[in-house]
Amino acid sequence: MKVLVIGSGGRDHAIAWKFAQSTRVKQVYVAHGNAGIAQTATCIDARTIDEMADFAETEGVDLTFVGPEKPLSAGIVDLFESRGLAIIGPNQRTSRLESSKCDAKVMLRELGIPVPEFAIFDDPEKARQYVRQYPYPVVVKADGLAAGKGSLVCDGVQDAEVAIHGIMEEKIFQMAGGTSGQKGGDPEANPTQPDQEHHAGDDAPGTEDRKRMPVQKLDEQAAGAPEQRCQQQKGDGAPV
């Protein structure tokens, strides 16, 4: 079978590398890939989801696997399925849980899943009023995709107001422009202290023969200047 992997990062390289090891796979393409991935698979210069779908259709690709969040949020799965092309990944509506911090937090709260206190704003002045009334630290987050850098850790009101101005008025994260304010809690959830995040998943959600993946732990800490204090990963490991 022919496989198309979407992406150009380390995760996508690993996915393509693993596909290439299968005796059932005769050709692995990656859109758009990079020089390192080109040592494992054939990289193609398809940059938009329409170009990717055109390639898959023309080349007779049997399966497409999507790595990054951006094409998912752009609706690549919906597009492929509308053209009868097999693809692995959540559709545009479902991927909102990844692409929208606000949507994800609201859903967690509605389902009764513990989540730090938060508020969502589309008015920067109301956001500033909110961060003036809570003890610190707080995290100001841009709603939308921001390449893992949309969460700014703030130690005081001035830091928070700079973050709000940057996200909502200067649009430092481009399309990720809405803002949510999340209050810092106990030390375990306090973003100015070393923090841990755990991920769990499987390789084929919703199928009877799915395989559970080991839990992965990510160690994070705040780093950078006040207006750039993103939570950055120090490392990860599995199993936990």
Domains of the chain, with CATH numbers?
A: 2-96 (3.40.50.20), 100-195+217-237 (3.30.1490.20)
The bridge status of strand 151-154 relative to strand 216-223 is unpaired
The answer to whether 98 and 72 are in contact (CB under 8 A) is yes
141 CB-near residues (< 8 Å, 6+ apart): 101, 150, 151, 152, 179, 180, 181, 182
Token duo for residue 207: 């199928």
**For the segment 132-155, what is each residue's pLDDT rounded down to a tens digit?**
887 888 888 888 776 666 788 888
Local confidence band at 61 (pLDDT 50, 70, 90 cut-offs): very high
* Half-sphere exposure of residue 188: CA atoms within 13 angstroms, side-chain side: 4
Cα angle value 222/215/194 (rounded, 5°): 20
pLDDT tens digit sequence for 170-223: 887 765 555 444 543 322 222 333 344 555 555 554 555 556 666 655 554 444
What local confidence, expressed as pLDDT, does residue 37 receive? Answer: 96
pTM here is 0.68
CB of 175 closer than 8 Å to CB of 144: yes
